[in-house]
Amino acid sequence: MTQRAAITITLLMGALAGCGQAEQKQTEAVDTAAITNQLHETEAQWMRDYAARDATKLAGHYAEDAALANPGLPLVTGGDSIRAAVKSFAADPNLKVDFASDRVQVARSGDLAYTRGHYTMESTDAATGKARTDGGNYLTVWQKQADGGWKAVEDFVVPGAAMTPAITE
């Protein structure tokens, strides 16, 4: 090997090592516990917005390019469609929503996360006009925003019995 090739290889190895160190520092800088707490508070605010039936604040939890999947309804995508769906939903006089995350997972990059949990909801049955109670599970994918806050980019609600923690061996 020539001296020039040896120097080139040494420089490349140094550059790659530097990239790894920068990536490691970025990973170490992400405080996943703080993000988890921030997402718990965001979800708590979301529940307060449901209690107030504030359609503007409810829709404000979604990114402009988000998707919302509610049981028995078509997938709703985009800010305008989500605002319209949430406005209709919030107008229900019987609406009561209670939910809690059972798991929060934060990406090492600190810019994406998800919450998975269970919910109960009281609403008006469209067929009977009477109040009904439903429950199930949800999965919300969150993306960190430029202002440091979090917005839902995918929100999927699944009816049925609440999930139990998985058994691991």
Mean pLDDT of 81-108: 96
Choose between 64 and 169: higher pLDDT: 64
- Per CATH, the number for 31-159 is 3.10.450.50
Question: Taking phi first (over 0 means left), then psi (-120 to 50 degrees means alpha), and beta for anything else, what does residue 72 get?
Answer: left
Residue-wise pLDDT tens digits, 25-64: 454 689 999 999 999 999 999 999 999 999 999 999 999 9
How would residue 161 be classed by pLDDT, with cut points 50, 70 and 90? confident
Instruction: Write out pLDDT tens, residues 7-27.
Output: 544 444 455 455 544 444 454
Report the mean per-residue pLDDT for the chain: 86
pLDDT for residue 2 is more than 80: no
